[in-house]
Amino acid sequence: MEALKARDIKADPAVYPHIPVMVDEVVRLLSPRPGDIILDATVGSGGHAQALLSAAGPGALLIGIDRDPEALERARRQLHIFGDAVRLEKANYARLDEVLDRLGIGEVTVVLFDLGVSSPQLDDPERGFTYRTDAPLDMRMDPGQPVSAYHLVNGLSEKELARIIKEYGEERWASRIAAFIVAAREKEPITTTGQLVDIIKRAIPKGARQKGPHPARRTFQALRIAVNRELESLEEGLAKAFSRLAPGGRMAVLSFHSLEDRIVKSKFRQWAKGCTCPPEAPLCTCGGKPQARLLTKGALMPRPEETQWNPRARSARLRALQKVGSGPEGEDVS
């Protein structure tokens, strides 16, 4: 089957409600081959998965993981043409090792993480991810998990709210926003995104609101990250994926904000340097050799033409590596 191209996905938005970002670059860097075992740790609507499977050819198997049951259903419809070459599993990618164990798979040869919130999640107001529509204050990627944004906004201390908004949202006005939230919830619970947006707007001085992005964007990002424990899951998921990556196998990660990219960059550099033993260790146990080689020099960004027809790609950053060992070699990509 001919490899799926970004232009094919762009051509029919009715078929592809979520347009996968930098799909051509992902396929080129991961270079899937016949017989590969591909782990898509964030399968979403299945766009990247379809492109990778069509490029891989005969005998490839794709394991698609997502914690959102609606995303898995979309992926199931998208990928049904591949039949038994696809296994879809509901799980947080921090538990990918358990998924692979359950399926009897020891190593994988290709890994992809496409991080952050998807377009269908943003576009469904009832999920509570967006600050542009009044909806229940939710933000859970897995609707079955017990803690939502409602619980954090109405239950955390002012100090903890300020920390989350500052650390995960990189919001200058975090302390004021937290104080305004606590004052508002003393009068009545904050149950909708619209209520929260109004509170944030009152907290941020007028002059600051009139410049830059939507005043609620950073706070909503912070709460979403905290609700879904995204950064903790990313640390754990990357480590587990690399441990299950076969020698010569490739991993790529698409991130969409600086906090994610910082973690990916740090992990990739750690695996690509000569020795990973802590300074206080009496003996080197890793042999002093790099565990991986970087396939990207820095992070790749979307081509200008892609951001024109898919504006949500603008903040994407793509990094890739190859695990050291026997396997197909590739050229460094700058």
Structural domain span for residue 165: 124-228
CB contact set of 151 (below 8 Å; sequence gap of 6+):
none
Domain boundary among 193, 208, 228: 228
DSSP secondary structure letters along 243-295: HHEEEEEEEEEEE-SHHHHHHHHHHHHHHHSS--S-TT-SS-SSTT--SEEES
pLDDT tens digits, 136-190: 999 999 999 999 999 999 999 999 999 999 999 999 999 999 999 999 999 999 9
The answer to the question of residue 333 being in a domain is no
How many other C-beta atoms lie within 10 A of the C-beta of residue 311? 9
User: How far is the C-alpha of 48 from the C-alpha of 27, rounded, in Å?
Assistant: 8
Indicate if 222 and 249 belong to the same structural domain: no
Q: Please give the radius of gyration of the chain, using alpha carbons only, rounded to the nearest integer.
A: 21
Domain boundary among 181, 200, 228: 228
Indicate if 203 and 166 belong to the same structural domain: yes
Domain count within the chain: 2
- Residue 123, SS3 per DSSP: helix
Indicate if 200 and 55 belong to the same structural domain: no
Indicate if 273 and 134 belong to the same structural domain: no
pLDDT tens digits, 289-329: 899 999 999 999 999 999 888 888 889 999 999 999 754 44
The answer to the question of residue 158 being in a domain is yes
pLDDT tens digits, 48-92: 999 999 999 999 999 999 999 999 999 999 999 999 999 999 999
Fill in the amino acid letter for 20: P
CATH number of the CATH domain containing 20: 3.40.50.150
Indicate if 13 and 111 belong to the same structural domain: yes
User: How far is the C-alpha of 334 from the C-alpha of 332, rounded, in Å?
Assistant: 7
Band of residue 280 on the pLDDT scale cut at 50, 70, 90:
low
Indicate if 35 and 106 belong to the same structural domain: yes
Indicate if 40 and 140 belong to the same structural domain: no
